[in-house]
Chain A
Amino acid sequence: MNVRAFIRFVLGIYPPWWRRRYGAETAELSEQLLTEPGARRWRLLAGLLSGSVLAWMQLRRIGDLLSPIESPNPWGMVPRGSHRDLFGNRGLWPRSEAELEPGEELLGVLDGVTGNRFIAHLPMMGVSYIVAPLILSLHFHFLGWGMLEVGAAFLPLGLLLRPLTTSYDVAVAVTSHGVVVFRRGVTGRTGKMIDRMPAVEPELVSFELMTRRVRLGGRTFRLNRRSDPLLYWMSQTLRSAGGR
């Protein structure tokens, strides 16, 4: 395959804002590097591919729509929460905010899973299994029906099993009144409130590789590893709220 065409194809994966700002520069620089003697073209292309992941992550940072909640912890970070949806929005969506009580201040949001995480993630796996072969088919003109069928089975099965087993992606919102748990949809946006508890002491059940199992009130959550500093902040905040 023509390497220049492949560079253009890879740059097409980058987010639009990135293409507008750095696309021409990157294409020119890549072509310049490829003309050098001993240029490792596949390494360069692999770097461009991994760079697209970084660019999308950057988009998520830039796409923060909610203003930060000013309450720096000893690490100097603002505990506005680790939760983001697919579109980069942090915090709670208006529908969820509307379920907070009058005067209840949102301090931070942690993302996690309650119930069985495999069932909770089944719809998202289904969507991935459907979308991935469709995208690949645009380029390779070959449709992987096997993956599509698996996806088509996972998506409805997941959507059916999640409410039956109460296995959801959740956003654990720490507020001035305690803890409010919201469901998160397939895209990650927060929706209906599923639980509300007063200021309770979070109890670390187990320290797993990618997640932390935390017991809050009567529920056990698997919280994302990124939440570690937030977890400490949460325990401090809830402890002080409980002592008030």
Chain B
Amino acid sequence: MAIIRGPSDRSALVLISLTSGPKHGYALIKDIESFAGVTLGPGSLYGAIARLEHAGIVEALPGGGNRKLYRITVRGAEHLRELPERDRVNSHAALGRLVPG
């Protein structure tokens, strides 16, 4: 199943943002705004997170009350690396941020 359809996909933006480290909802919105110039609303953000969580690409860190921290899973990092070349060029920002190892 194609989780990421393109760089403009909200899920891709969330994934790209999480490659620089775990973040909660507010931090994700601000980060996406800064690198992509796209302002996600809470509805779209959690819609994308739900989709990524369901696919096992993103997970919530335990604890934290209402403000949960989300991080990219090992499978998510692999998914990002395995994007086709066409998407890889578009996802340059993500690969640049991805922590090696």
Contact = CB atoms under 8 A, between A and B. Distances in A.
B94 interface: no
A44 B54 contact: no
B92 interface: no
A29 B42 contact: yes
A47 B42 contact: yes
B41 A18 contact: no
Interface in A25-45: 25-26, 28-30, 32-33, 43-44
Given A25-B66, A25-B68, A32-B26, A18 B50 contact: yes
* Interface size range on A against B: 20 to 34
B44 interface: yes
B50 A22 contact: yes
A33 B68 CA distance: 16
Main secondary structure of the interface of A (DSSP, over half): helix
Interface stretch (A48-56, A102-110, A134-142, A203-211): A48-56
Interface string A66-97: 00000000000100000000000000000000
A62 interface: yes
A18 B43 CA distance: 11
Given A24-B66, A25-B25, A52 B50 contact: no
A8 interface: no
A174 B41 CA distance: 41
Nearest to B55: A61
Interface residues of B, number: 19
A58 interface: yes
Interface in B39-63: 40-47, 49-51, 54
A21 interface: yes
B67 interface: yes
Contact of A28 (B43, B45, B47, B67): B67
B50 A25 contact: no
A51 B42 CA distance: 8
B43 A25 contact: no
Nearest to B65: A24
B29 interface: yes
B41 A55 contact: no
5 contacts: A33-B29, A47-B43, A50-B41, A51-B42, A58-B50
Interface of B: 1, 25-26, 29, 40-47, 49-51, 54, 66-68
Q: Nearest 6 A-B pairs (CB), nearest first?
A: A51-B43, A47-B41, A54-B47, A48-B43, A22-B46, A29-B25
